[in-house]
């Protein structure tokens, strides 16, 4: 499959889906939903220039290290966390979880009901809802130390999830904005179909094709754990590494239940491929 990718016989999208499947990710499990990368860093320009390297996200770094300042803060947390917590890691939140998936797809059923169920029966506070591609990127890459989310496959083929066709009452933000359709970058001209088209072109671009292996190393490969992960600022709470935990040696049912609940709510690292 990798040779087919090198020869351009399959798309980057198809290769990522293949890797997700090998790693145990599935559309049938919100807790292990397929994970895709943010590929762009430009959500403000009027036109999208796919020949400019600065248009793209740094695929060699996890979302927690997209800016130097943010990277240093997570390194500091890693160095200090052992003084306060039992687990040393860079991130106590995950890049893919049931709530992240449902929040992206909240405007479509059955994800609407799933999201509300995960939120205790109602929508979240409007300011925390997924309402803008640009603000979500800024949160995950720069502003929010509790947010390192990546994307889902739908960002590259499904324009419908970006519109509030069912007219759900998603609430009103503090600045008075009523939530409806997802706010798109200027280069999409307010058209979800154009956003998906250009976003897919970005995924299949020469730049992403040349650097995608770096992101794959972080999510599915050797930089997933161990010393390579530490060096790459890519370590997560031990509970996220579900397939590396020996539950048979955990005798206390309360502790076992707590760990499983943690994985269920906050995410799980894909199996290494």
Q: What is the DSSP string of 153-204?
A: GGGGT-GGGGS-TT-----B-TTSPBP-SPB--GGGTT-HHHHHHHHHHHHT
Say which CATH architecture domain 1-264 belongs to: Orthogonal Bundle (1.10)
Contact predicate 199/153, CB 8 Å: no
Supply the pLDDT for residue 249: 67
Write down the pLDDT at residue 240.
Answer: 84
Q: Give 99's contacts (C-beta < 8 A, 6+ positions apart).
A: 115, 118, 119, 265
**Which residue do the tokens 């145990």 mark?**
24
Domain ranges of the chain: 1-264
DSSP state of 118: H
Rounded to whole angstroms, what are the CA distances from 135 to 63, 71, 220, 253?
14, 19, 27, 41
pTM of the model: 0.90
> For the chain (length 273 residues), average pLDDT per consecutive 10?
65 97 94 96 97 98 97 92 69 92 96 92 90 97 96 98 95 92 98 98 97 97 95 91 65 68 74 90
Q: For position 245, what pLDDT does the model report?
A: 59
Identify the pLDDT of residue 256.
64
């Amino acid at each position: 499959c990798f040779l087919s990718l090198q020869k351009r016989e399959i798309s980057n999208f198809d290769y990522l889906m293949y890797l997700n499947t090998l790693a145990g990710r599935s559309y049938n499990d919100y807790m292990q939903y397929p994970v895709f990368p943010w590929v762009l860093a430009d959500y403000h320009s009027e036109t999208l220039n796919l020949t400019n390297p600065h248009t793209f996200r740094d695929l060699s770094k996890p979302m927690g290290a997209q800016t130097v300042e943010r990277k240093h803060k997570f390194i500091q947390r890693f160095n200090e966390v052992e003084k306060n917590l039992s687990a040393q890691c860079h991130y106590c939140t995950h890049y893919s979880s049931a709530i992240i998936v449902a929040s992206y797809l909240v405007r479509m059923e059955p994800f609407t009901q799933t999201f509300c169920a995960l939120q205790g029966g109602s929508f979240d506070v409007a300011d925390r809802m997924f309402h803008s591609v640009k603000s979500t990127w800024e949160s995950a890459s720069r502003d929010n130390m509790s947010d390192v989310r990546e994307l889902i496959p739908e960002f590259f083929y499904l324009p419908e999830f970006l519109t509030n066709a069912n007219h759900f009452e998603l609430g009103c933000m503090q600045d008075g904005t009523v939530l409806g359709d997802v706010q798109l970058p200027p280069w999409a001209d307010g058209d979800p179909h154009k956003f998906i088209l250009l976003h897919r072109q970005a995924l299949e671009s020469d730049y992403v094709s040349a650097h995608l292996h770096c992101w794959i190393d972080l999510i599915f490969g050797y930089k997933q754990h161990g010393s390579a992960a530490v060096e790459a600022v890519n370590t997560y709470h031990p509970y996220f590494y579900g397939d590396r935990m020996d539950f048979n040696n955990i005798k206390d049912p309360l502790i076992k239940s707590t760990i499983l609940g943690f994985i269920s709510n906050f995410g799980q690292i894909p199996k290494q491929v």
